[in-house]
Amino acid sequence: MPEKKKDLAKGHTAFWNDPEKRSMLYQIIMLVFLIICGAYIVSNTLHNLDSRGIKTGFDFLWSEAGFGINQSLIEYDESHSYGRTFFVGLLNTILVASIGIIIATVLGFIIGIARLSNNWLIAKISAVYIETFRNIPLLLQIFFWYFAVLRPLPRPKQSIEFFDVFFLNNRGLALPDPNFVEGFGWVLVAFVLSLLVVFGVRRWAKVRQDATGKSFPIVSISLAIMLGLPALTYFIVGSPINWEVPTLRGFNYRGGITVIPEFLALLLALSVYTAAFIAEIVRSGILSINKGQTEASLALGLSRPKMLKLVIIPQAMRVIIPPLTSQYLNLVKNSSLATAIGYPDLVSVFAGTTLNQTGQAIEVIAMTMAVYLTLSLLISLFMNWYNKRIALVER
């Protein structure tokens, strides 16, 4: 370490003209200002809460909610607590957001690449897709999809059936629900075993390709093993799953799992909307890659799909990831528009019904915002980590 003697003529410097002291002063002023503002808001709020006799605190989380929710990933009925409605809503938000992210990404990449296709029609259709969905408010699209999904679907009595076990109607898509009984363990074992086998086969195929250059239909064989082995066991053990097939009783299909139309509509709207943005990001990412890379790949004889896969996309990812991250964040935040069509997400269930029944706006909104902040933070962290990883490969 160099020995750092702080410099000369300190005594002469007027306090106001010393940049360090000056910045200290600014910061103190800022801090004081913030504290005063904070205190002012807090005292006003406390006074207002008090003078209006509004209850505060988080006790309400443990009292009975008393209202129903039509989609819950965890067990829930009216007798559960408000605290549980929080988790029901949270999980529903996470469900729609995570599936939405996956679909939007896949769709966005396909369309972004199609936008650059040398098939004129495909390129134009992609452009129209992008320009249409990007420039219309999401809320409107959600309404659109909701009614577009609902309108053509029949009432439960006239459901569209597939194989007598799937039923599609305007109450949603009813699927069989697996109930596991004794002996199912073997199927699980078989599944794990098939995974191991697949792993082995892949290793072997890679070694073989490296050695002989012959490629091996890995994907189809793996799929066959992964599905076949457990299925075989399943029948050998004697069908240890009781499929609870939904049946029409009264007004609706009961039993089984139902995917509600609100979910479908929201999911469609979110993915279609976000995919338009992702497509643009992918396109500009690909275009940002130096033309020389394309030429070099072509000169080496790579075909267009291989060039995209091996040369262009890996490099474009570096440009794509940061804006892609903010699209993911937008999608998560936009999922809160669920409330417009009554999909029971966090905002609808917790910041909606629960807030209204308990009247504790500050607590509820604070919790809700904290959730979104946390989700945003987690996504950012993950994407930054991923970006670092691919950036490292690049260097």
Footprint on residues 166-205 left by another protein (CB under 8 A):
170-171
Residues 120, 56: Cα–Cα separation, whole Å? 62
Per CB under 8 A, 219 contacts another protein: no
Minimum CB distance to another protein, residue 26 (Å): 6
* Of 194, 198, 183, the residue nearest 235 (C-alpha): 183
Interface pick for another protein out of 35, 39, 55, 161 (rule CB under 8 A): 55
* CB nearer to another protein: pick between 195 and 326: 326
What does each C-alpha distance from 323 to 188, 270, 391 come to in angstroms?
40, 17, 15
Calculate the CA 111 to chain-centre distance. Answer: 19
Residue 224 in the binding site for another protein (CB under 8 A): no
Smallest distance from the beta carbon of 272 to another protein, in angstroms? 13
Q: Which stretch binds another protein (CB under 8 A): 102-110, 219-227, 229-237, 288-296?
A: 288-296
Binding range to another protein, per CB under 8 A, among 83-91, 183-191, 225-233, 245-253:
245-253
CB 76, CB 88: distance < 8 Å: yes
Among 164, 213, 219, 220, contact with another protein (rule: CB under 8 A) = 213
Residue closer to another protein, measured from CB, 182 or 219: 219
**CA distances to 175, 188, 240, 241 from 178, in Å:** 10, 14, 10, 6
Q: State the sign of the Cα–Cα–Cα–Cα dihedral 97, 102, 105, 111.
A: negative
Among 212, 219, 220, 385, binds another protein (CB under 8 A): 212
CA angle 196, 201, 207 (to 5 degrees): 130
Map the footprint of another protein across residues 58-117, applying CB under 8 A: 66-70, 78, 117
Contact 248, 157 (CB under 8 A): yes
Subset of residues 342 to 381 that bind another protein, contact rule: CB under 8 A: 342, 344, 347-348, 351-353, 355-357, 359, 361-362, 365, 368-369, 372-373, 376-377
Minimum distance of another protein from residue 110's CB (angstroms): 12
Q: Tell me 167's DSSP state.
A: E
Q: Are 258 and 175 in contact (CB under 8 A)?
A: yes
Which C-beta is closer to another protein: that of 143 or that of 386? Answer: 143
Comparing CB distances to another protein, the nearer of 84 and 171 is 171
For helices 361-394 and 82-115, angle between their N-to-C axes, nearest 10 degrees: 40
C-alpha span between 130 and 110 (Å, rounded): 12
> Taking CB under 8 A as the rule, does residue 12 contact another protein?
yes
